[in-house]
Amino acid sequence: GENVEQHPSTLSVQEGDSAVIKCTYSDSASNYFPWYKQELGKGPQLIIDIRSNVGEKKDQRIAVTLNKTAKHFSLHITETQPEDSAVYFCAAYGGGADGLTFGKGTHLIIQP
């Protein structure tokens, strides 16, 4: 089955700087890659997603890039703000009767 590795597990950046979280996947048939933000006591919130026929997608301060050849995708957050502090999860969908496979999460800390 699919395996998703996520790095780093913790990321601390100064407010206003950029943050990058990276994920790799194992199944070359995977075609859908969502990113979720989870705040304490809440469920994961979908913030952006990308499909395998697209290399990059942007939504305001958030962007995701996908490299199908290398089987990795990344989340980029620019001009970070205190409210960006949360745990971020990447996921991959390999098709068929499988569900989403999630990475272990990245705890993003925005330092004032």
Partner 1 sequence: DSGVTQTPKHLITATGQRVTLRCSPRSGDLSVYWYQQSLDQGLQFLIQYYNGEERAKGNILERFSAQQFPDLHSELNLSSLELGDSALYFCASSVGGQGNDQPQHFGDGTRLSIL
Q: Which of residues 27-46 bind partner 1 (CB under 8 A)?
A: 31-32, 34, 36, 41-46
Under rule CB under 8 A, residue 102 binds partner 1: yes
Under rule CB under 8 A, residue 65 binds partner 1: no
Question: At 109, is the secondary structure helix, strand, or coil?
Answer: strand
Under rule CB under 8 A, residue 7 binds partner 1: no
Output phi, psi for 8, to 5 deg. Answer: -85, 175
Residue number with CB closer to partner 1 (7 or 51): 51
Q: In 1-112, where do the E strands start and end?
A: 4-7, 10-14, 19-25, 32-38, 45-51, 56-59, 62-67, 72-77, 86-93, 100-102, 106-111
Residue numbers at the binding site for partner 1 (CB under 8 A): 31-32, 34, 36, 41-46, 49, 51, 89, 91, 93, 95-105
